[in-house]
Amino acid sequence: MQKFTTLKSIAAPLDMINVDTDMIIPKQFLKTIQRTGLGKFLLNDLRYNDDGSEKPDFVLNKPEYRSANILVAGDNFGCGSSREHAPWALLDFGIRCVIAPSFADIFYNNCFKNGILPIALPKDQVDALMDKAKEGREIAVDLSDQTVRAGNDVVFSFEIDPFRQHCLLNGLDDIGITMAQAAEIDGFEAQQSSLQPWLYAKK
C-alpha cells in the first residue's frame, strides 16, 4: 500500500449529502475482484449520460478537476452497502483523501485499508474548504501534523486514531501489518517445530 504523508492537490467539490456506495460505484461494476480499472466508473451515473458521453457540468468532468487527488463532500459520505469497491474506485481515479462532515463507518474503515485518508471535520470547516475547492484552490493535507490547509487563511486540525495514522504513514495494509511481524512469526514457528515436530511433518 502506498504511504500517505503529505498531499497537495486541487480539490474536487462534491457538494452533495448522503453519497452512497452504489452512487460511488454502481452495482453493475462489482463483477471484478481487481482493485484497478474501476476509476473510469467512479460516480458513473453522475459523470455519464445513458449513451456513455460525459456530462460536461459534472465536477470530475471539468478540466480543472480531472486530476484532483482530494474530494470535498457533504455529510454521510459512503453510506449504503459495505462494498470495498467504493474506495477501490476512488483510489483508481486518483483520490487519496476525502474530506466530509461525517462518513459511514464501514466505508470509513475501508478507506484506511486501501490507503485513502478520510477526514471528518465540522460542517462549517468543510463548507469553508468546499468554497476554496470551488474557487480552484489547492488544499494541502499533512498527516503527521494532522492539518488541512487552503492558503494561509484556512487551517484546520483533524483527529485520527494513532494506529491508523501509523499504518497510513508507513503504507501498511492488513497484510503489511502482519508481515511487519515476520521475524516474530518465524521465531514462533521454529520453536513450535522443535517442540511439536509432528505438526510440521511432510505427508
Task: Please indicate, yes or no, whether residues 141 and 185 belong to a single structural domain of this protein.
Answer: no
Task: Please indicate, yes or no, whether residues 123 and 150 belong to a single structural domain of this protein.
Answer: yes
Q: Per the confidence metrics, is the pTM higher than 0.85?
A: yes
Contact 15, 127 (CB under 8 A): no
Task: Please indicate, yes or no, whether residues 70 and 104 belong to a single structural domain of this protein.
Answer: yes
Task: Please indicate, yes or no, whether residues 23 and 122 belong to a single structural domain of this protein.
Answer: yes
Domain count, the chain: 2
Report the SS3 class of residue 58: coil
Write the pLDDT tens digit of every residue in 102-111: 999 999 999 9
Q: Give me the amino acid identity at 69.
A: N
Q: 190: domain range?
A: 173-203
Task: Please indicate, yes or no, whether residues 140 and 152 belong to a single structural domain of this protein.
Answer: yes
Beta bridge partners, 49, equal none
- Which residues fall within 8 angstroms of residue 48, CB to CB, at 6 or more apart? 54, 55
What's the CATH number where 117 sits? 3.20.19.10
Does residue 121 register a pLDDT over 70? yes
Task: Please indicate, yes or no, whether residues 178 and 120 belong to a single structural domain of this protein.
Answer: no
Cell for 124? 462549517
Q: Would 139 be classed as within a structural domain? A: yes
Task: Please indicate, yes or no, whether residues 109 and 21 belong to a single structural domain of this protein.
Answer: yes
Write the pLDDT tens digit of every residue in 149-187: 998 889 999 999 999 999 999 998 777 677 666 677 777
Q: Would 38 be classed as within a structural domain? A: yes
Other residues' Cβ atoms within 10 Å of the Cβ of residue 121: 20
Q: Would 66 be classed as within a structural domain? A: yes
Instruction: Give the whole-angstrom CA distance, residue 44 versus residue 74.
Output: 18
Q: Would 103 be classed as within a structural domain? A: yes
Q: Would 1 be classed as within a structural domain? A: no
Task: Please indicate, yes or no, whether residues 105 and 197 belong to a single structural domain of this protein.
Answer: no
Question: Residue 196: pLDDT band by 50, 70, 90 thresholds?
Answer: confident
Task: Please indicate, yes or no, whether residues 54 and 24 belong to a single structural domain of this protein.
Answer: yes
Task: Please indicate, yes or no, whether residues 18 and 114 belong to a single structural domain of this protein.
Answer: yes
Does residue 198 register a pLDDT over 80? no
Helix, strand, coil percentages, rounded to 5, for the chain: 40, 20, 40
Task: Please indicate, yes or no, whether residues 57 and 43 belong to a single structural domain of this protein.
Answer: yes
Which of 8-12, 160-164, 196-200 is the least confident region?
196-200
Closest residue by Cα to residue 157 from 192, 183, 185, 121: 121
Task: Please indicate, yes or no, whether residues 17 and 45 belong to a single structural domain of this protein.
Answer: yes
Backbone torsions φ then ψ of 35, nearest 5 degrees: -85, -10
